[in-house]
Amino acid sequence: MTGGSPSRTHAGVGERVFVAGNGGWGTAVAIVLAANGHEVSLWGHDLAYLAEVARTRENPKYLPGVTIPEAIAIGPSLEPLSRAGIVFEAVPTQHLRTVMRQLAPHHRPLTPVVSLTKGIELDTFRRPTEIIAAELGGTPVAAASGPSHAEEVARGLPTTIVAASTSPELARKVQLLLSGPVLRVYTNADLVGVEIAGALKNVIALAGGICDGLQFGDNSKAALLTRGLVEIARMGVALGASRETFGGLAGMGDLITTCFSPHGRNRAVGERIGRGESLEAILASTQKVAEGVRTTQAVRPLAARLAVDMPITEQIHRVLFAGLCPRQAVRELMLRDFKAEL
């Protein structure tokens, strides 16, 4: 992990930070921020569960076995939001707009919000930072993304991600707030590319899991990741992103982690589909959100509207929502018209 910044000093030690969303990643980021010396408040919409987390200092549903430091304030009050100097949100995409409306009366104008969410909103095709800006009156926004399973970050395993914003100052602030012995953060001005990469890698992760469920080999997985990244980049470029972003941490880095790790929710859902389980049964059996399922629904019509060729995404949509057999989906991909790679 080389390269770097001219200074390793944290931005505003003692910064008041409000974290909305007490799932695994929200909790892990709260732990990192507190370890870096910031005053952290953690909030979630399920008040009964939030009270349990506050009492036990554990998050058994989403981050079992990790002790949450006493320095992190956990509670239902939104009053700390009104005093925060920066906000981090880790809310599932399809619930993000509702949560932002709930937070809006307590959010101070121009207090920056950093999105930890990876997805695309159904019907509107909006990225998380677009939803945040729309609901909070154009507040400054950033996104933090990359290969970063909460289970590893919370346990202090070295992780590297990227902070993206159209504001270099805000990206730099996020970099300094989060960076430390556990987490190294790079900056990136391509907010569109970072968010699209984070959203669409979950679709390819579903396909990666299906490969595992069908007991395909390394050749299959490598080809899937490579061609999947091509699809992700196509969509990103069509939306104005830089192609270079997709070879970085938010693109290839996150795709590798998500498609191979046992922690990956989307990969796990895909694996169960490959083994013959129905999507309905899988979703009913877990409280964790697999963002790739709804992102697949959102990106398919977006690809059609923009005339972006996304054959893997199309087949995943047919498997999830049209009853296509996973093996048949793979066969159809293998028998597509012959083309040049580049």
Q: How many Å apart are CA 4 and CA 101, to the nearest integer?
A: 37
3-state secondary structure the chain: CCCCCCCCCCCCCCCEEEEECCCHHHHHHHHHHHHCCCEEEEECCCHHHHHHHHHHCEECCCEEEEECCCCCEECCCCHHHHHCCEEEECCCHHHHHHHHHHHHHHCCCCCCEEECCCCCCCCCCCCHHHHHHHHCCCCCEEEEECCCCHHHHCCCCCEEEEEECCCHHHHHHHHHHHCCCCEEEEEECCHHHHHHHHHHHHHHHHHHHHHHHCCCCHHHHHHHHHHHHHHHHHHHHHCCCCHHHHHCHHHHHHHHHHHHCCCCHHHHHHHHHHCCCCHHHHHHCCCCCCHHHHHHHHHHHHHHHHCCCCHHHHHHHHHHHCCCCHHHHHHHHHCCCCCCCC
Q: Judging by DSSP bridges, how do beta strands 183-188 and 86-89 pair with one another? A: unpaired
CA distance 163 to 86: 14
Task: Provide the token pair at 334.
Answer: 């293998």
118 in active site: no
Residue in 201, 221, 288, 339 annotated catalytic: 201
Active-site residues, by number, are 201
